[in-house]
Chain A
Amino acid sequence: MQLFRARPMTRPVEVAEMDALLGRVAAQQDRAAFATLFGYFAPRVKAYLFRLGAPAAVAEELAQEALLNAWRKAHLFDPAKASAATWLFTIARNLRIDALRREKRPELDPDDFLPEPEAGADAGMMVAEKERRLRLALKELPADQIQVVELSFFADKPHSQIAEELGIPLGTVKSRLRLAMGRLKRAMGGDE
């Protein structure tokens, strides 16, 4: 199986900048802000869907739809909980399940949970800092660990099949994922 290697063509944009653009879309339906978000994220969502096996034309169409969904849902975006990139990822993920796999995405009902205590003004900063650390830690994962993490996102197949194609036992795939998650959590300042 081909090992996926990310080749960012542009330097990752500052997390806070994208969050602010999304905030402007939510607050005042700012089209210029949306156009900037579109220019950055639509080609990445297209790459994501293409990587998961969608034909180029379908990936193109769904990338536009994902950004349209982001416009419609912008008022639900909470920078204290996730960055714009993470939020866009969940939109693209759910769109793929709905449109390409024709299944439902079982999601938690937010009404089932008590509202969380008001996040401090720096909660968004904490998210940005956590993501910055995560990004660094992802790049430093051993090759065999980042491989199974990436395949968990980009190969549309269960871990048993990933194991088979890599020629390693399923238990090895699982233990590599466990090791990777442990490292990433520590990097993000998680208290294990």
Chain B
Amino acid sequence: MIHLRGIYKRFVIGDEIVRALDGVDLTINEGEYVSVMGPSGSGKSTLLNMIGLLDSADAGTYQLDGIETTTQSEENRARLRREKIGFVFQAYHLIPRLTARENIELPMVLAGMPPAQRREQSNGMLKRLNLWERADHLPKQLSGGQRQRVAIGRAIVMKPSIILADEPTGNLDSRSGREVMELLEELNAGGITLLMVTHDTVLGARATRQVVFGDGRVVKDASKHA
């Protein structure tokens, strides 16, 4: 379902050319649990942005659920993000002036879903994430773990086929981090493809497939139960 072929991405920083992605071939199947590891600057975050259609490649092809994304208009790419991809960020990226519920409802708002239907979905999500009592709280009134749970709720409320998580536990204490990981893995067990970028090898080892990046290339691709 995720099919990358010969993906190149270069950045110019000062007078130096950084090869963030240097000919990446990668296929990720539906329902897989993949961790992407590697030192900083190895291109793993760029890969995640590429898969999440937040960034575009200089060269190569990327098919998502059979759709060639590199030739799509920005409008269609936005639509694909809306329908197929859920993002979980290290810094949560919640909108500070919106309540937990409103943050969760945001993707549905952008998709133009009627308010009653949104309410129903967010109700279910708040209950499921143990955030029911916190529905009308602003992000600043929530703990780190609760914030990340809101962010996960926002990522999955549109029932995407892929969750892209960039250091999802990076800002959390170990207990909250473990809870968040359990939640993500539970979602994966339910069938969602989970792609997680981390520099934490212990965390990375939990994934069934581990991809290690170095200098913009895949240097290791190992599966646990293959």
A and B physically associate: no
Using a CB–CB cutoff of 8 Å, the interface residues on chain B facing chain A are none
Using a CB–CB cutoff of 8 Å, the interface residues on chain A facing chain B are none
